[in-house]
Amino acid sequence: MKAIAIDGPASAGKSTMARYLSKELQFIYVDTGALYRAIGLYCVHKGIDTTDGQQVTAILNEVVVELKYVEGEQRVFLNGQDVSQEIRQPEMSMAASNVSAISAVREFLFELQRDMARHNNVVMDGRDIGTVVLPWADLKIYLTASPEERARRRQNEYAQKGIETDYDKLLEEIRQRDYNDQHRLIAPLKKAEDAIEVDTTHDNMEETMARLLALAKEKLGNVAV
């Protein structure tokens, strides 16, 4: 099986790039952030503090998280219910970041992610894909952009969904989440040694897409492109 790992901070363009590459290569796109968001959502529904490792660990045996593909799009199921929309609410970002720092949560989601890559050609995005989940990936990309640019993109994304947000608050949250994700003890966000760093601050998306597709073709060789 072939695998492309795309890691990087929030809103650097990972999902746009991963979705594009997966379509071009006819691979499955696995958005691993959605798994952490599903656990965060469950905790928020239960009224559990997402920073409380003991409480969050205790509820994991009540949770079944599954990934399914409907018309090529990943859907996330939490205890049999499709929560793909709900996990995108702004407050779920920090809830996901909080629970992702808890070792039991990472262990809980680890096999599910590995399994996807065992059975499918995948483009997988997240924070620790190239470093921990798929260290053997054929191509590793570390996608970044300035916090200001990422906050602007996030604001546009929400605006398109009709959700109004405050730019300064988004910027503050992005900085906070970067800090959380980079400084947690287990599987922190960092560039794998053999990853190619791509800064998208000043790129337009088409340029980055073309660059990544060329890299994929070069590294993966004879795949369905």
Contact residues: ligand DC, CB under 6 A = 10, 32-33, 36-37, 93, 96-97, 100, 126-129, 177, 181
* Tokens encoding 29: 């796109």
CB-wise, 97 or 155, nearer to ligand DC?
97
Asked if residue 89 lies in contact with residue 95, where contact means CB atoms within 8 angstroms, the answer is no
Minimum distance of ligand DC from residue 225's CB (angstroms): 26
State the Cα–Cα distance between residues 188 and 52, nearest whole angstrom.
18
**φ/ψ (deg, to 5) at 73:** -100, 135
Minimum distance of ligand DC from residue 160's CB (angstroms): 17
Task: Enumerate residues 6+ apart whose C-beta is below 8 A from 173.
Answer: 93, 94
CB-wise, 194 or 214, nearer to ligand DC?
194
CB-wise, 20 or 36, nearer to ligand DC?
36
State the Cα–Cα distance between residues 24 and 20, nearest whole angstrom.
6
CB-wise, 12 or 212, nearer to ligand DC?
12
Minimum distance of ligand DC from residue 7's CB (angstroms): 7
Minimum distance of ligand DC from residue 221's CB (angstroms): 26
Minimum distance of ligand DC from residue 224's CB (angstroms): 26
The b/e string for 132-161 (b: 16+ C-beta within 10 A; e otherwise) is: bbbeebbbbbbbbbebebbbbbbbeebeee
CB-wise, 149 or 181, nearer to ligand DC?
181
DSSP string, 137-170: -SEEEEEE--HHHHHHHHHHHHHHTT----HHHH
